[in-house]
Structure formats: structure tokens, C-alpha cells
Amino acid sequence: MNIWKRPFIATMTALAVIALAAHGQGSSAQSRPLAKTDAVTYLFPAQVSVTAGKPSPVALHFRIAQGLHINSHTPSEDYLIPTTFSIPDGAGVRLDAATYPVGTQMTLPADPTTKLSVYTGEFTIQARIVATPGNHLVQAKLRYQACDQNQCLPPKTITVPIDVIAK
Amino acid sequence: MKSFFVRRNTLVLTAVVLILAIFAWAGWANWEYRKQAAERLLAGAGQGELVPAPGSGTPQYVSPLSSKPAPAFALEDLTGKKVALASYRGKAVLINFWATWCAPCRLETPWLIELRNKYAAQGFEILGVDTEGDDLQKSDTAGWAKDKAAVGKFVTEMKVPYPMVVDGDSISRDYGGLDDLPASFFVDRKGIVVAAQVGLTSESEIEGNIKKALNQ
């Protein structure tokens, strides 16, 4: 049986192909880049294995978008928002301590006298965590406030997802 | 002969069901795509863009509010008194969105003070709008008290002579989202936005836009 001799089936098949093609066009338009990008991206680790109940070091790596800077953990002015890492209570994992990198000194072109303490590019926070036995998907938080040379973005808190396996 | 018809009917039925399933899936996928496209459009609505300035080619911020009436608002000042934009009708107004944590905002403040004092006699005023962007809830009285204290400290330190209101976040959407600070809107005596700036520019550029608002 040649189905192409059957007008109904042939029409339906052709319409289905057209529908699929139309959907394909829609999908490609959807992949356009977003106008806004996150100033800070968490890089790694996605998973860590630690000894349960003991303080364990974890190095957390982040990247700041090109052209932007964020305040260090110890900004030079008290009105600036410091970069802070935290782990919410009840996650089975506690943040025992966090050591932040020393900020790089920079000045804005419009004010060469004021030195700001900032992070640019990639930076690492040395965290020490204590976990109860088990597998914990921790939704840690990084709060920061980013600027470029002339303008600032509002403060933001991003989630830092870490799978903590404590044995 | 009977089995041939049964086989053919089964084949046709299977094909129809398959095609209908493909249609349903394509329809759902298209609906999903359109919904996401609409959300993207909505998110981008009202946001300005950088376009080359005539002659110089230097990127210049163009607000979608340009040549349109400035969106009305009434916000509390540091004493809790409501300050409405409408009460400035007849004056040229610079609406300056800023935040205490924004270093470029602080840098332009002395220029704003100087220009405000220079043009005040000609019917010019600045309205400072504190826009912290930290999602303070209305019920967070401690948070608002802290915010007002920080703004008050800045106003006192800088001897800011113009009115300062808080909770700019509540009107940020009307003014294009205000993803970047500082952001300034220059409104003429009729309440029309004649120019807008985002980011730290220069005192002369701000002055040029004030003159536009004053129609000089």
C-alpha cells in the first residue's frame, strides 16, 4: 500500500512536518543570549566528601564577569556592601569558618584618591564546614554587590549548590 | 480480504494517533515558547539602550521614557512626609536614583549640589530617590530605620540641599527597571522627560541636560 496515494494520510504527514519545522524555528530563537548576565558565577566544587562531625576545608571558586568588580569581604568604606558567604541553618552542614582573599586595591577614574578593596576575575573562599553523617545538598549563599567603573548593580545573593557527602 | 482491511485500518489509526500526538506536542511546545518569549519581552519592557550619539558616535543612554510624561510617584522623605513628583509641576526637575552603597552615586553628588544651587533660581530642583535594591519588606521596620539612618548620614555629611525620598525600588519598574545606578531623569516644566542618564557621566553632561529641562 502506498500511503502517498491516500490524500488524508499524506496531508496529515505534511502538516506534521510543517509543525515540526515551525517548532524548530521557535527553539532556535529561544537560544538568544539574555540581556542581563550574573556578575558572579560559582565555578566548583559541585560535590565534596568530608569526614562527618569534623571541621573540613573546602575551597570555593567563583568568577566575576569581565569589566565588573565586587567589594572584598573587608571593603575600604563602611557604606560598601562586603562579599559574604553563608550556609543556611538546618542544612545538615554548618559553616565553621570562612577565610576570604585579600581584596585588590583599585580607584575609580573619577576619584583617584579613594582606594577601594575589590575582587575581580576569579577568587576563592576557603571555607571550613562541619557536616552530620549523610548526603546533604547544601544551598549555600554568596552575597555581593557589583560595579564597573561608572555604575553599580543592586546587591545580590546567589545560591551556591554543593553536594556534601559526609561519612 | 478481511484481514487486509483490519491491517489497513490499524495502520491508518496508528498513523492518525501518531500525527495527532505530534500536533499536540508541537502545539504545547509552541505555546511554551511563546510564553517564554512574552516573559522575555515583559522583562525587557521599559529598559533603555545605548545608541551612538549624533556626530560623536559615543554611546548614549536612550530611555524609553524620553519625550513621555515622567511616571507619577509620591514617596516618603526622611521625616516620613510624602513628597509627590506632581508637586514640582512648573519646575524643571532632575530625578536622581541612587543608593548608599553606590560609590559612583556618591561621586556625582557634589556636582548635583553645585548645579542645583546654580540653577535653583531659574526654577530647577533635584529630587533624590534612595533605591537600595535590597528587597526590604514594608513590615521590616528595623530594616527601614537602618536604611533611613544611612541615607540621613549621607545627606548630613554631604550637606545635600534638595529633598531626599526613600523606597525608590517601589517605582523602579516605572522608570525602566533601574538595574544600574546612578540613574537620572531630567523632567521639563510640563512634566515631560527630556533626557536620561545612567552611570557616572560628567558635570558638564548633567548641566547640559538640566539646561534642556529648563528649555535653555
pLDDT tens digit sequence for A146-161: 999 999 999 999 999 9
A81 DSSP 8-state letter:
P
- Residue B204 Cα, gap to closest chain A Cα (Å): 14
Cβ distance B182 to A147 less than 8 Å, yes or no, reads: no
Is the domain of B36 the same as that of B91?
no
Lowest mean pLDDT, pick from A33-47, A69-83, B42-56, B111-125: B42-56
With cut-offs at 50, 70 and 90, classify the pLDDT of residue A16. Answer: low
Is pLDDT above 90 for A85?
yes
Lowest mean pLDDT, pick from A31-35, A95-99, A116-120, A134-138: A31-35
Q: What is the mean pLDDT of residues B1-10?
A: 73
Cβ distance B101 to A20 less than 8 Å, yes or no, reads: no
User: B145-164 burial, b for 16+ CB within 10 Å, e for fewer?
Assistant: eebbebbeebbeeeebebbb
In whole numbers, what is the pLDDT of chain B averaged over residues?
85
Residues of B engaging A, defined by a Cβ cutoff of 8 Å: 8, 11-12, 15-16, 19, 22-23, 26-27, 29-30, 33-34, 36-37, 40, 44, 47, 99-107, 132-134, 150, 154, 179-182, 198-201
Active site residue B197: no
- Write down the domain spans for chain A: 1-32, 40-166
* Contact of B115 with B108, CB cutoff 8 Å: no
Is the domain of B35 the same as that of B131?
no
User: A84-106 burial, b for 16+ CB within 10 Å, e for fewer?
Assistant: ebebeeebbbebeebebeebeee
Is the domain of B106 the same as that of B165?
yes
Sign of the torsion angle spanned by Cα atoms B49, B51, B54, B60: positive
Residue B177 is predicted with a pLDDT of 84
Residue A103 is predicted with a pLDDT of 97
Is the domain of B37 the same as that of B121?
no
Is the domain of B122 the same as that of B186?
yes
Is the domain of B67 the same as that of B35?
no
Is the domain of B88 the same as that of B8?
no
- The domain of B19 spans 1-44
Is the domain of B138 the same as that of B87?
yes
Question: Which residue in B86, B67, B84, B62 sits closest to B75, CA to CA?
Answer: B84
Choosing from B44, B60, B79, the residue where a domain stops is: B44
> At B126, which CATH number?
3.40.30.10
Is the domain of B12 the same as that of B96?
no
Report the domain count for chain B: 2
Chain A nearest-CA residue for B4: A1
Lowest mean pLDDT, pick from A57-66, B3-12, B125-134, B179-188: B3-12
Is pLDDT above 70 for A4?
no
Chain A nearest-CA residue for B101: A80
Lookup: cell for A76: 575600604
- CA dist B53 and A95 (Å) reads 51
pLDDT digits (tens, 9 = 90+) for B38-47: 454 334 434 4
Is the domain of B85 the same as that of B164?
yes
The CATH fold of domain A40-166: Immunoglobulin-like (2.60.40)
pLDDT digits (tens, 9 = 90+) for B41-77: 334 434 444 444 444 444 556 688 888 999 999 999 9
With cut-offs at 50, 70 and 90, classify the pLDDT of residue B96. Answer: very high
Residue A32 is predicted with a pLDDT of 31
Catalytic residue, candidates B65, B92, B93, B105: B105
Burial class of residue B52, CB neighbours in 10 A (0-12, 13-18, 19+): exposed
Is the domain of B97 the same as that of B22?
no
Is the domain of B149 the same as that of B87?
yes
